[in-house]
Structure 1
Amino acid sequence: MGPLDDRTMEDLDDECLFPSEMDAQKTQSVDPNQHISVSGSLPFNGNKMTRNGVYKSIKTVVFSNKLNLLMPFGPLAILVHKMTDSNGWVFFLSLLGITPLAERLGYATEQLAFFTGPTVGGLLNATFGNATELIISIYALKSGMKRVVQLSLLGSILSNMLLVLGCAFFCGGLVYHGKEQVFSKATAVVNSGLLLMAVMGLLFPAVLHYTHTERHVGKSELALSRFSSCVMLLAYAAYLVFQLKSQTDLYVPLGEEVNQNGENLDNNDDDEDEAPEISKWESIIWLAIMTVWISILSDYLVDTIEGASDAWDVPIAFISVILLPIIGNAAEHASAIMFAMKDKLDISLGVAIGSSTQISMFGIPFCVVIGWMMGQEMDLNFQLFETATLFITVIVVAFFLQEGTSNYFKGLMLILCYLIVAASFFVHEDPPTDGQFVRSFLRMSHLVQFSRKWLLNRDMEFGAFERCKRQEERTRGDLKK
C-alpha cells in the first residue's frame, strides 16, 4: 500500500490512459517465453483502448452539452465566405459558431484546474476566462481596427456588470422571493475599487485629449496610456496574489461552492461531483483545439464586421458593444443565472463582477501592451461618450453592491439600465478617426472637383445653346427682311 499511496494524480492518469503498455511491460517481465504471443496481441488491444479513450473524450466534451449544436455554424461560416460575398451572413454564422467554443473553453479550463490546485486554477481562470474577447481583440489589432478592440472590451464590461449581474439578481430573487439573498461584501468592495481604478486609467487620457492640454501633441496621450496600462497590470497581479494567497478565507476560487457563512459545501457533495470528467492531458489538448478554432473564426468575424454593419444598417459601435458581448458571453450568462437560482450569489458575483474586473484591469491594458509590440497606437482614450458610460455604470453597480444583499427589483433595475445603454449606442455615431477623416476629406475634394467640372461643362453647353438660339433668331430676322 505504501508505493500506491505515494503515487501522484499524474501517474494515475497516465496509467488510465495507457493501460495496455503497462500490462505489456508486466507480461514481458514475468514470462519472457511468451513474448511472441503477447506482442502479437498488444497492437490490437492498444489500438482498441486508444480508440475507446478518444471516443469517450469526444463524447464527454462535444456531445454532452446542447449548446454544442451550434458548432456546425463555424464551418458553415467559412463555406459561406468562400462561396458568396455576404458579409452579414458570415458575421452572424461566425458569432453562432464561437458561442459553444467559448463555453467549452471554460469547461476545459475548469477540468484542468482539478489537477493544478486552487492557486494555479485561479490563474488559469484569469487567463482563459475571457480568452474569446482577447483573441478577437488581438485579430482586430492586427487588422488596425483599434476602435473595434476598444468597443468590444467596453461592451464585455458593460454586459457583465449590468446584464449578467442583473439577470442573476432577478432570477435568484424570483426563486427566493420570500427573502433577500446575501453575498460577500468584501469581494464586492475590492472589485468595485478595482473597477474605479480602471475608470481612472481610462478617464485621464480622454480628459487630456479633449482639453487639449498635452505637452507633446499626439505623444503624451499615448505615453500616458502605456504607463497606466503597466500600472494596471501590476495592480491586477497584486490582486491575484491578495486573492489567492493572503486572503484565502475571504476569496474562494470560483470553482468551489460556498455557503453564505463561508463554509465549504463540497464536502457534502458526492465524490462524483468532485472528480474530473477528463484527464489533465485531455484538458490541455482540448484547450489548444478550442483556442485554435476560436482564432480561425475570429479572423472571419473581424474581417466581416464592417460589411455586416453596412448590410444591416447598424452602427459598428452597437455591434461591438452590444451584439459581440451578448453572444460571446452566453455561457457566462447562463452560469451566473444558474448559481443565483441555487442561492450561491458569491459564485454569480465572481462570474459577473470578476469577469468585468479581469477585462478592465487585465484585458484592456494587455491589448495596449500587445498593440505597443505590434506597432499599433492602441491607447486608453475610449472617447468621451464611452468613458462616461463606463463611469456611470461602475457608480450604479457599486451602489447596488454596497449593502451585500440582492432581490429581483435590483436585478430588474440593472437590466433596464442595460437597455438604456443599448439604446444609447444604437443612436450613437462613432466619431471618425484621423484616417477616416482624411479619406472623407479626399472624397469630398474629389466630389467638389467633379461638381465644378460638371457645372463648368453645363455652363459651356448652356452658353453654346444661347449663342445658337441668338444666331437662329438673327437668321430668321434676316429671312423676313
Structure 2
Amino acid sequence: MSASSETTPLLPTQNGNGNPHSPSFNHRVVTFFKAEGQPSWLSSYRFFFFGSWLNVLLVFIPLSFLAEHLQWDAAFRFGFSFVAIMPLAALLGTATDQMSLKLGQTLSGLLNASFGNAVEIIVGVAALLQNELRIVQTSMLGSILSNLLLVLGCSFFAGGLKYTESSFDETAAQASSSLMTLACITLVIPAAYHSAQSHSGNTTALANSIANAVVDGTDLDSVSERGLLLISRGTALLLLVVYIGYLLFQLKTHAHLFADEENEEVEEQKMNIPAAASALLLVTVMTSFCADYLVASIEEVATRYGISKPFIGVILLPIVANAAEHVTSVWMARKNKMALTIGICVGSSIQISALVVPLLVIIGWITGHNLTLFFSNFETIVLFVSVLLVQFLIQDGKSNYMEGMMLMTLYLVIAISFWVSN
C-alpha cells in the first residue's frame, strides 16, 4: 500500500453539515491501525517476527504443544518447551523495548521493571501453582547467579578482549551491588532462624530434614514453621518497598548516575504502541503455556534420566530466561558500553531478588502455597559468596578480561556442585 493510499479516503464523504473535510470511515480506520508518525501494523509485526534469526526457534512452540497433548516422552516435552521459551523471552524484550521508546523515562523504567524478568515470573508462577516449591526457589536462585556470574563474567571477558580496561560509574554500581547484598542477607536470616529452631527442637526431625533435603520449613514444629512463614512474608513486603525506593533512586533522584551519556544513542522505533502491546500480550500467553509444560515435565526428566532437580532449576532454566539478556550484555560490552552491561546484569539480579522472589512469596501466600525465603545452607552460602565476589570486582569502577574469567570460573564450580547434588 502506498503512502498516499494510507492517508487519502477512497471515497469523499460529508458529515451531517455537509462538511467535505470531515474524516472518512476509511481514514479513521487507517488512523487506528497506523498512528501518525509511527510504523504501520504490518511493518511492526514484520519487524517483530522477522527481526532476529533467533525467531526460527519459534517452530518449537507448536512442537511443544504437540508433545504435551500427545504425551510424548518427557525428554521431548522438556526439550521442546525449553527451546521454545528462548525466542519468546527475546520477543518479550523486543516488545517491551519498543513500547518504552514512546513512554518517557519513568514509565519505560516501570515497564522494564515489570516485564524485564517476565519469563522468570511466568515460570515461577507455573511451578508455584503446581506446588513445585523447590523448582521455584532453585530457578530464582539460578537466575540471580546466572546474571551475576555467567552473563556479567562473559561480558567482562568479551569487553576485556577488545579493550584493555573498561570503566563505569562506581557510585551507581555500588548502589546496585549494595542492594543486591541486602537482598542476599535477607535470605541468610531465614536460614539462620531455621537452623536455630532445628537445633533447639527434635534432633530426629532434624536428621530426617537433612536426609530428605527439606528446605521449606516443614520439618519444624508448627509454631516455628509459622514463624518462618511470618519472617518470609514480612521480608517480602519490605523488599518490595525497598525496590520501589530503588526505582525512584534510579529513575528520578539520581538518574544521572545511571546514564551512559558518552555512548547514548537514539533508537529508532520499529513498532507502534498498539502493535507492541498486542504482541506483548500474545507472547506472554504463549510463554505461560510453554512454561507450564516445561515445569510439568521436570520431575519425570529428573527421575528417568538421572539429572538432579537442583541442577535443572539453578543451571538449565536460567539459560532459557537469560538467553536474550546474555547476548545483549555481551554485545554492549564489546561496544564499551559497560554502564549498560552493569545495568543489565546487576539490575536484572536485583529485579529477581527484590521484586520477583518477594512477589512469588506473596502470590504463594494468596494461593495457599507456603513458599518461604528459606533456602538450604549450601544454596545460601553459594549466593553469599557470589554477591561478595561481584561486590569486590566492581567497587573500583573498572573491568577487564581477568575479572570476567574469575566470575565464569566461580559459576562453573557452582554448576559442577549442583550437578552432583540431590
TM-score by length of 2: 0.87
Bigger RCO of structures 1 and 2 (CA < 8 A, at least 6 apart)? 2
Partner of 1:204 in structure 2?
189
Verify: 1:362 aligned to 2:363, yes or no: no
Cα distance in 2 for partners of 1:54, 1:232 equals: 40
Matched letter for residue 218 of structure 1: E
- Quick one: which of 339, 364, 381 aligns to 1:388? 381
- Quick one: which of 205, 209, 218 aligns to 2:225? 218
- What does 1:381-460 align with in structure 2 at a 5 Å threshold? 381-429=374-422
- What does 1:77-116 align with in structure 2 at a 5 Å threshold? 77-116=64-103
Cα distance in 1 for partners of 2:41, 2:247 equals: 36
% same residue: 39
Cα distance in 1 for partners of 2:96, 2:20 equals: 44
Verify: 1:61 aligned to 2:48, yes or no: yes
Partner of 1:144 in structure 2?
131
Partner of 1:28 in structure 2?
14
Cα distance in 2 for partners of 1:191, 1:388 equals: 20
Partner of 1:167 in structure 2?
154
Matched letter for residue 220 of structure 1: G
Alpha-carbon distance, 1:195 to partner: 1.1
Alpha-carbon distance, 1:32 to partner: 5.9
Partner of 1:291 in structure 2?
284
Cα distance in 1 for partners of 2:322, 2:249 equals: 27
Matched letter for residue 93 of structure 1: F
**Residue aligned with 1:421, SS:** helix
Write the deviation string for residues 81-121 of structure 1: whole angstroms up to 9, x where unpaired. Answer: 22243111111110110100111101111111111101110
Partner of 1:346 in structure 2?
339
Cα distance in 2 for partners of 1:403, 1:168 equals: 17
The list of structure 1 runs, each at least 4 consecutive aligned residues, that deviate by more than 4 angstroms after superposition, is 24-27, 29-35
Verify: 1:134 aligned to 2:103, yes or no: no
Alpha-carbon distance, 1:57 to partner: 2.6
Partner of 1:75 in structure 2?
62
Cα distance in 2 for partners of 1:26, 1:351 equals: 52
**Residue aligned with 1:28, SS:** coil
Verify: 1:236 aligned to 2:243, yes or no: yes
Alpha-carbon distance, 1:356 to partner: 0.4
Write the deviation string for residues 132-159 of structure 1: whole angstroms up to 9, x where unpaired. Answer: 0001101111111111000000000000
Partner of 1:6 in structure 2?
none
Cα distance in 1 for partners of 2:418, 2:316 equals: 11
Matched letter for residue 158 of structure 2: C
**Residue aligned with 2:103, SS:** helix
Matched letter for residue 415 of structure 2: A
Matched letter for residue 422 of structure 1: A
Alpha-carbon distance, 1:53 to partner: 4.4
Partner of 2:177 in structure 1?
192
Matched letter for residue 244 of structure 1: L
- What does 1:241-256 align with in structure 2 at a 5 Å threshold? 241-252=248-259
Alpha-carbon distance, 1:192 to partner: 1.3
**Residue aligned with 2:271, SS:** coil
Q: 2:177–2:391: 8 Å Cα contact kept in structure 1? A: yes
Alpha-carbon distance, 1:249 to partner: 1.1
Cα distance in 2 for partners of 1:107, 1:46 equals: 25
Cα distance in 1 for partners of 2:224, 2:19 equals: 84
Alpha-carbon distance, 1:33 to partner: 11
Q: Structure 1 regions of 5+ residues with no counterpart?
A: 1-15, 253-257, 267-272, 430-481
Cα distance in 1 for partners of 2:143, 2:323 equals: 11
Matched letter for residue 317 of structure 1: P
Matched letter for residue 247 of structure 1: H
Alpha-carbon distance, 1:58 to partner: 2.4
Q: Report which of the two structures shows the higher radius of gyration computed on alpha carbons.
A: 1
- Quick one: which of 366, 374, 379 aligns to 2:372? 379
**Residue aligned with 2:102, SS:** helix
Q: 1:57–1:278: 8 Å Cα contact kept in structure 2? A: yes
Alpha-carbon distance, 1:308 to partner: 1.4
Moved more, 213-222 or 358-367: 213-222
Matched letter for residue 160 of structure 1: N
Write the deviation string for residues 328-349 of structure 1: whole angstroms up to 9, x where unpaired. Answer: 2110000000000000000011
Q: 1:230–1:365: 8 Å Cα contact kept in structure 2? A: yes
Cα distance in 2 for partners of 1:265, 1:304 equals: 44
Residues 317/31 of structure 1: CA separation in 2 closer, same or farther (3 Å cut): same
Residues 161/28 of structure 1: CA separation in 2 closer, same or farther (3 Å cut): same
Write the deviation string for residues 303-346 of structure 1: whole angstroms up to 9, x where unpaired. Answer: 11111112321000000100010122110000000000000000
TM-score by length of 1: 0.76
Cα distance in 2 for partners of 1:26, 1:364 equals: 58
Cα distance in 2 for partners of 1:281, 1:246 equals: 31
Alpha-carbon distance, 1:128 to partner: 0.4
- What does 1:313-332 align with in structure 2 at a 5 Å threshold? 313-332=306-325
| Count of matched residue positions in the alignment of Structure 1 and Structure 2 | 389
**Residue aligned with 1:75, SS:** helix
Alpha-carbon distance, 1:264 to partner: 6.0
